[in-house]
Structure 1
Amino acid sequence: MKQPITRIAALDLIKGMSVIGMIIIHTLLIYANVKSQSESVIGSFIVFLGRGTSIFMICMGLTFMTSSHQSLKSSIKRGGLLLLAAFFMNFMKFIVPAVLGFAPDNFIQKYGWHGPIEQQYMYLVMLGDILQLAGISLLFVGFIRKYVKNKYGILAIGLLIAAVSREVSGIHIDYPVLNYISDLFFSNDYPAYIYFPVFPWISFIIIGMFFGKWYQELNYDSRKLFRNMLYIGLLFIALGAPLVFLYGDYNYNGFYHMGPGGVIYFAGWTLIFLWAIFRITSKIKENKFTETLKYCSRNLTSMYMIQWILISWGKGIFGYRQHGIGFVLMLILLYIVLTFSVQKLLDLILKKKKKPVIVLEQPISVDEAVMK
């Protein structure tokens, strides 16, 4: 019996766009001076794009529900692999340049360290970003997928986590190992260990899971799914906007540590954006650009790691936050080329190591090879 087509082309294109977008954003944040980031039109726009993390999170939740890997064991395994990948990336980003002596002084001085160098290195390796969030989230959302069968039950869990996020924000267990785990979940000391604490950011993933379950119930009708996203998005904005703009100290409190109103408000705009992208991309025929975006989508995790490592190493050559917007735009082009080049090199290495098979439905990606 033929299986239904569950993959949504629009989501692949959006995730592909996020790969290009994160190279642009991270290059600006690392190399542009403060004036270029905050006072130039291009810099301000790129910083604004950096607020699109919720888009990736909701897409992650949706594809998690429709993935071919549906077992709880698979979810836990993938979560553990992502956490290992996150720590490896931090080691390559920070420790390699520091040990080899090409980390710029003003970057090291940014943190105002006075303790032992080993403690400083440990801080950098444990620094939490999206990979840590995705990894630890997969350790938990697998249980939701396995045991919560009603889509509204899934949504209720996501909204409940958002509702209590400000109440639990800042919980800290002052004991080795446990203090890092508590920071992963509840950190509110930006920029401390964790940029994206599980509370509230896992809420976006679970909201995406709600739509993934709905997609299944709609018999994989993507047009109906995205129309429902539009309606729910409008509802979320209507509910979240008054909370954010009237009670912002509690409900927003900055992008990285939002309260319930901020989560609902950002989720609303994200859902409307996804609907708009679906409407636009559904009319676009397959071409080289869309093929490139789908390639980025298949290799999102590895390309995320590659671009961060390359950009971090480049601080030893180009300096840290010292350049105007014109020079940064040239660096953006450089890092896009370098990221794709390294990814292609990894593809070739993987292809040589892989045993020949008679039939492949589609080329295997580095991400897929890691997960299998």
Structure 2
Amino acid sequence: MEQHNKRILALDLIKGMSVIGMIIIHTVLIYANVKSQYETTIGSFIVFLGRGTSIFLICMGITFMTSRHQSLTSALKRGLLLVFAGLFMNFMKFMIPVIFNFAPDNFIQKYEWHAPLHQQYIYLVQLGDILQLAGMSLLFIGFIRKYVKNKYIILAIGLFVALISREVSGLNLDYPVINYVLDLLFNTDYPAYVYFPVFPWMAFIIIGMFFGKWFQELNYDIKKIFEKMLYFGIAFIFIGAPLVFIYGNYNYNSFYHMGPGGVIYFAGWTLLFLWLINTITTNIKENGFIRILKYCSKNLTSMYMIQWILISWGKGIFGYREHGIDYVSVLILLYLFLTFSIQFIIDIVIKKVTIYLNAPIART
């Protein structure tokens, strides 16, 4: 019987590129001064690349449907793990510099806080990042994968999440722990600031699941699924563009908290981009750079955490938003080197521990 490859090279390459891209983007956002970020061609382009979150999320949805781990339990466990990984990352990013007294003054002053210090620290640890979004979304999409078998109903759920996102924004109850969960879901601005609330951002993941389900039904025919993405991408752009550019206050609002039209519009361009990358990489041969990108894709979560922690710690050494683009370019190379180095060390340690745990007990 013919074996079908469930892995799509284009998705691995995109996820790999996103690892390298986020190191570049985050280094610029943390270290480049405002002029370098918005008044230079390189800086403006890098800040623009930071708007590529939807690409990663749609890829996540596709691979979620074709993953070897299909059980609801595994999705729920991974979801909780990612939420706590996000909180741990925030603690390492913000609290370690505070505890060891190497946090730059102008970073704290940026927020113009007047609240007690412990409230400021709670705010930082609870910031809603992409890990919290992925984790909270898994608690929902695990049920969709298990119980919804019709791909068009999956798509309808995704569009419904986008449709109601502005209406549910701000829902909260006066209980701190419950409010934090509601914050992650609906961006209530109490007590944390959530960059990627589940509503609307989960819609991109569910749209990816729609194409993942279709990919299964097409017997894992890569050429056909990317043709479908092209057609849907064009349709989404035509539907989303007038909503964003004519009724933007409701449908776009802001990048991090967009409405339904913004989701459809960004999803359209994302699907076009995925089709383009697949077209470019269809006949590409394996080489060193491809292997690096595959390595990054495989270790995306850990490398995401490593680079953010290192870049945040570096504020105490290199300052916060003080440098020109030339200086920041050197820092980008430094953080690329450090992130890969630490990931290699982690791999070696895990391999040694695994060998040790699996080794037969020596006879005495």
**Is the structural similarity TM-score above 0.5?**
yes
Deviation at 1:13, TM superposition (A): 0.4
2:361 corresponds to: none
Q: Distance in 1 between matches of 2:35 and 2:4?
A: 51
Q: Distance in 1 between matches of 2:224 and 2:3?
A: 19
Unpaired runs of 5+ in structure 2? Answer: 359-364
Mapped contact 1:230–1:272 kept (Cα < 8 A): yes
Residue type of the partner of 1:311?
Answer: I
Q: Distance in 2 between matches of 1:357 and 1:111?
A: 47
For residues 27-50 of structure 1, give each alpha carbon's deviation from its aligned partner in whole angstroms, at most 9, with x where no partner exists. 000000111111100000001000
Deviation at 1:83, TM superposition (A): 1.1
Deviation at 1:355, TM superposition (A): 2.5
Residue type of the partner of 1:103?
Answer: A
Mapped contact 1:31–1:328 kept (Cα < 8 A): yes
Number of aligned residues: 358
SS at match of 1:354: helix
1:353 corresponds to: 353
Deviation at 1:114, TM superposition (A): 2.5
2:66 corresponds to: 66
Deviation at 1:268, TM superposition (A): 0.1
1:264 corresponds to: 264
For residues 295-316 of structure 1, give each alpha carbon's deviation from its aligned partner in whole angstroms, at most 9, with x where no partner exists. 0000000000000000000000
2:150 corresponds to: 150
Mapped contact 1:188–1:257 kept (Cα < 8 A): no
2:250 corresponds to: 250
1:90 corresponds to: 90
For residues 168-201 of structure 1, give each alpha carbon's deviation from its aligned partner in whole angstroms, at most 9, with x where no partner exists. 1122223211111111111165995200000000
Output aligned runs, 1:91-240, within 5 Å: 91-187=91-187, 189=189, 192-240=192-240
1:370 corresponds to: none
SS at match of 1:29: helix
Unpaired runs of 5+ in structure 1? Answer: 359-372
Q: Distance in 2 between matches of 1:138 and 1:3?
A: 29
Mapped contact 2:89–2:305 kept (Cα < 8 A): yes
2:38 corresponds to: 38
Mapped contact 1:169–1:187 kept (Cα < 8 A): yes
TM-score (norm 2): 0.96
Deviation at 1:111, TM superposition (A): 1.7
TM-score (norm 1): 0.94
Output aligned runs, 1:16-55, within 5 Å: 16-55=16-55
Q: Distance in 1 between matches of 2:260 and 2:57?
A: 16
CA RMSD of aligned residues (A): 1.6
For residues 96-118 of structure 1, give each alpha carbon's deviation from its aligned partner in whole angstroms, at most 9, with x where no partner exists. 00110000001011122223322
Query: Which 4+ stretches in 1 moved above 4 angstroms?
Result: 188-192
Residue type of the partner of 1:94?
Answer: F
Q: Distance in 2 between matches of 1:188 and 1:117?
A: 22
Q: Distance in 2 between matches of 1:311 and 1:281?
A: 31
Q: Distance in 2 between matches of 1:306 and 1:17?
A: 16
SS at match of 1:112: coil
